[in-house]
Structure 1
Amino acid sequence: MRIRYIVYLVIALLIGYLVYNKLHGNAKDGQAQAGGGGGSAKGGKKKNGPVPVRLMIVKDTSVNNNIDLTGTIDANEKVNLISQTAGNITGIYFQEGSRVRKGQVLVKVYNQDLLASLKQNAYQVALAKENEYRSRVLLQKEAVSKQEYDTSLSSYNSLKAQGDVIRAQIAKTEITAPFSGVIGLRNVSPGTYLSAATPIATLVSTDPMKITFSVPERYKPLIKPGSKVSFNIASSRKSYSATVYAIDPAVDQNSRTITVRAKAPNPNNEITAGGFAKINLTLDQIPKTIMVPTECVLPDLKSSKVYIAHNGKAEPRSVKTDLRTDTRIEVTEGLNPGDSLIVSGIIQMRPDVPLKIVKVIQ
């Protein structure tokens, strides 16, 4: 019996606790809702109050019309040196990686047989010249016929031409530098049999360097020989300059771009052929225009709009835009110098919203 009473007592206490919690919980919810209503009222009051904003006074400015591109760095001149004649190499007259001048002898091929032939020809030419002279004297005295004189003259001229051929063959046994530049690693050694297909080394002219890049077709009227280009390379933090000197007249049908080539001075060999160039091309300069922060311009269905401050309230203004940079956009219509452009709190802007000016940017 005693246990039963204890169980009844516990159940009664539990029921009482639940009823008490239910009643006091509803009261707290009511107070919370009342408090929330007050907060909403305060929030509503804040929403209807002035919006703190920063203003920028619109003014004319000059701006460069630039585009960023990528390009390839090439040597001004580059050639793989090969021989025009076959034979054993008798001499190599350059150091790998050194500078050579135009016309400098780099490699010689065996030519003693040709030199001997040239010497033999010289004797024959001397004899033929003497015979021609005698025949000419005799012809003047009518001691020989015109035909006999022509034969001696033809023999003389033929031997001279043969000598020119031999000298040309001797010249081919000397491989010379076609232009001044830096010569690369050689692929031959003294005594090697050199054929016409054997590469000797690569000669590169590195000053100036050529920068080749592609520009969208619509910019073609703005690019001309003499346009300036600045670029960066991966191996240096410096900025380099180049000048456009050639423009391909044809447009690439696949990419709709035109190929442009510029030259960059490279007196210290800091720019390496075959490298990658990050290019900034100045198309033109707009001397007088209005540039505003990009975030100020709100896209609309038919155009774009901005907000200006007028009599302490926000006033929408339709604008037309054109040139864009990373942070600014050009406004061609809709703004005038002296207008107070709103540059912060744009999300909260509505027509006739009251404003609290925090800062004015000149």
Structure 2
Amino acid sequence: MKKRYIVFTLIALVVAFLFYNKFFGSKAKQTNAAATGGKGKGRGNNGPVAVNILVVKDTAVRNQIDITGSIDANERVNLVSQTAGSITGIYFDEGTRVKKGQLLVKVYNADLQSSLQQVQAQIVLAKDIDNRNKILYQKEAVSKQEYETSQSSLATLRAQADVVKAQIARTEIRAPFSGVIGLRSVSPGGYLSPTTPIATLVNIDPAKLTFSVPERYLPLIGKGSQVQFTIASSRDNFKATVYAVEPELDAASRTITVRAKAPNPNNQLTAGAFAKINLTLDQIPNTIMVPTQSVIPDLKSSKVFVLKNGVAAARDVKTDLRTDTQIQITDGLKPGDSVVVSGLIQIRDKSPLKVLKVIK
């Protein structure tokens, strides 16, 4: 029985030794030190926080807004015929450039051509009669009434010829302006009516850029203003000049529609494309800009931490313009202040700081 107690006692001593060595021995202390990064005298003991700071200075900044818009053709028309009839000829290739006045489609007009020739023959005869009556009237061989009757007949025939010519012109569909013609919906020999679409003609040089601007920016944009924009199909930056502004606001959105023209000599811009517009409203010559992450929003205002005498000092600030990476400070900072831009989660007012990098 005594031997059993001795064995149990020895086992208990061995377990106690192993437990102490694991949690309180020198190796355990080294492991804990490694896990804490060797910061035996870190934040828990009021050690300095390593931070980067920015030295504030006056800088020029552009007041810009990013808005969306759409690309429209300078001119666009759906070609249709003004008269009905069979198509006798199509004189364009789909997707090609055509010139203003170029003949595109012709409708049967042989009957009108015959009518025109008949009227022109009558005009020749009426002109001879009118010349003869003029000479006879001067010699008082015919009455004034007979002479005026011949003049009226000649004028009537000429008017009839003009009517027939106008009817013939309606059978010829010509390009109203220069541009690129799209896919045709008709074929030679088909019947064409005034409701039958032929093709779409588009002029997109220059291209029109249409977008809307919030009401608050209305005084800052007008005819002649420059805008920059990009499109998804190209990496290039494009420029456009405002040439027209809608005279009234949209009642629902409180925005105003603006239209600008952009040169498009290489046809990089396509009608209907989505445009991302960067609109420069004005330029502020002297202001303070700080990184976005350095400004801490508060319930009533915003604040930043500045380095002062080796410790962090909280400073209430007022903000205004924002960019992708910076915020404008209108009050609370002055040139030369050192603003903390990193390690902000660990910082409290009067926390000691250790500067790793100074951004100028």
CA distance in 2, matches of 1:190, 1:13: 117
SS at 1:273 equivalent: coil
* Per-residue Cα deviation, 1:148-174 (whole angstroms, up to 9, x for no partner): 333222222111111111111111111
CA distance in 1, matches of 2:9, 2:119: 137
CA distance in 2, matches of 1:211, 1:132: 60
Q: Residue 178 of structure 1 aligns to which amino acid in structure 2?
A: P
Q: Which deviates more, 12-21 or 75-84? A: 12-21
Q: Is the 8 A contact 2:212 2:257 kept in 1?
A: yes
* Per-residue Cα deviation, 1:227-251 (whole angstroms, up to 9, x for no partner): 3333332323333332222222222
Counterpart selection for 2:323 from 318, 322, 325: 325
Distance 1:89 1:328, change over 3 A: same
* Per-residue Cα deviation, 1:83-130 (whole angstroms, up to 9, x for no partner): 111122111111111111111111111112111111111122222223
Q: Is the 8 A contact 2:41 2:47 kept in 1?
A: no
SS at 1:163 equivalent: helix
CA distance in 2, matches of 1:351, 1:45: 14
Q: Which deviates more, 194-203 or 296-305? A: 296-305
TM-score, length-scaled by structure 1: 0.84
Matched, 1:179 2:177: yes
CA distance in 2, matches of 1:147, 1:161: 21
Q: Residue 351 of structure 2 aligns to which amino acid in structure 1?
A: V
Question: Corresponding residue for 1:53?
Answer: 51
Question: Corresponding residue for 2:194?
Answer: 196
Question: Corresponding residue for 2:81?
Answer: 83
- Quote how far apart the aligned CAs of 1:291 are: 0.7
- Quote how far apart the aligned CAs of 1:332 are: 1.4
Counterpart selection for 1:356 from 349, 354, 357: 354
Question: Corresponding residue for 1:122?
Answer: 120
Unpaired runs of 5+ residues, structure 1, are none
SS at 1:154 equivalent: helix
Distance 1:26 1:95, change over 3 A: closer
- Quote how far apart the aligned CAs of 1:14 are: 12
* Per-residue Cα deviation, 1:189-215 (whole angstroms, up to 9, x for no partner): 222121111111111112222222222
Question: Corresponding residue for 1:303?
Answer: 301
Percent of matched pairs sharing the same residue: 62
Matched, 1:256 2:254: yes
Matched, 1:284 2:290: no
CA distance in 1, matches of 2:99, 2:138: 53
Q: Which deviates more, 334-343 or 298-307? A: 298-307
CA distance in 2, matches of 1:330, 1:170: 69
- Quote how far apart the aligned CAs of 1:350 are: 3.2
* Per-residue Cα deviation, 1:15-48 (whole angstroms, up to 9, x for no partner): 98999899999999x979xx99xx9x95687442
SS at 1:274 equivalent: coil
Unpaired runs of 5+ residues, structure 2, are none
CA distance in 2, matches of 1:201, 1:193: 15
Q: Residue 128 of structure 1 aligns to which amino acid in structure 2?
A: A
CA RMSD of aligned residues (A): 3.1
Q: Which deviates more, 127-136 or 318-327? A: 127-136
Q: Residue 88 of structure 1 aligns to which amino acid in structure 2?
A: S
CA distance in 2, matches of 1:94, 1:45: 81
TM-score, length-scaled by structure 2: 0.85
CA distance in 2, matches of 1:130, 1:26: 137
Question: Corresponding residue for 1:219?
Answer: 217
Question: Corresponding residue for 2:67?
Answer: 69
CA distance in 1, matches of 2:7, 2:134: 151
Q: Which deviates more, 183-192 or 222-231? A: 222-231
CA distance in 2, matches of 1:14, 1:287: 88
CA distance in 2, matches of 1:360, 1:210: 47
CA distance in 2, matches of 1:233, 1:354: 49
Question: Corresponding residue for 1:161?
Answer: 159
Q: Which deviates more, 152-161 or 270-279? A: 270-279
Distance 1:47 1:71, change over 3 A: farther
Matched positions, count: 350
CA distance in 1, matches of 2:244, 2:49: 56
Question: Corresponding residue for 1:239?
Answer: 237
CA distance in 2, matches of 1:349, 1:45: 10
CA distance in 2, matches of 1:219, 1:62: 20
* Per-residue Cα deviation, 1:240-278 (whole angstroms, up to 9, x for no partner): 332222222222222222222222222222222222222
CA distance in 1, matches of 2:43, 2:200: 80
